[in-house]
Amino acid sequence: MINPKKTRNIRDKFNFIRNQMFLSILNNQEKEVFLNLVINVAEIDGEFTQAEQNQISAYVLEMGITLKEKHTYNKSNSELLQELSKSTIQVRRSIFIEIVALMVVDGMKDEEVILLNTIQKEFNIKDAFKEQSITWYNNIAPLYKQGFDLIENGGK
How far is it, in rounded angstroms, from Cα 83 to Cα 33?
8
Q: Average pLDDT in the 96-114 region?
A: 92
Percentage of the chain exceeding pLDDT 70: 86
* Position 2 in a domain: no
pLDDT category, 129, cuts 50, 70, 90?
very high
Percentage of the chain exceeding pLDDT 90: 54
pLDDT in tens, 46-89: 888 888 998 899 899 889 999 898 889 999 999 999 999 999 99
Contact 98, 22 (CB under 8 A): yes
How far is it, in rounded angstroms, from Cα 28 to Cα 51?
25
Quote the domain boundaries for residue 35. 7-149
How far is it, in rounded angstroms, from Cα 97 to Cα 11?
19
Q: What is the pTM of this model?
A: 0.82
- The residue type found at 149 is D
Q: How many domains does the chain have?
A: 1
How far is it, in rounded angstroms, from Cα 64 to Cα 155?
34
Asked if residue 124 has pLDDT above 50, the reply is: yes
* Position 53 in a domain: yes
pLDDT of 126 reads 97
Which residue, 63, 50, 53, is CA-closest to 16? 63
CATH no. for residue 62? 1.10.3680.10
* Position 34 in a domain: yes
Which residue, 130, 53, 144, is CA-closest to 97? 130
Q: Average pLDDT in the 117-145 region?
A: 92
Contact 49, 106 (CB under 8 A): yes
* Position 154 in a domain: no
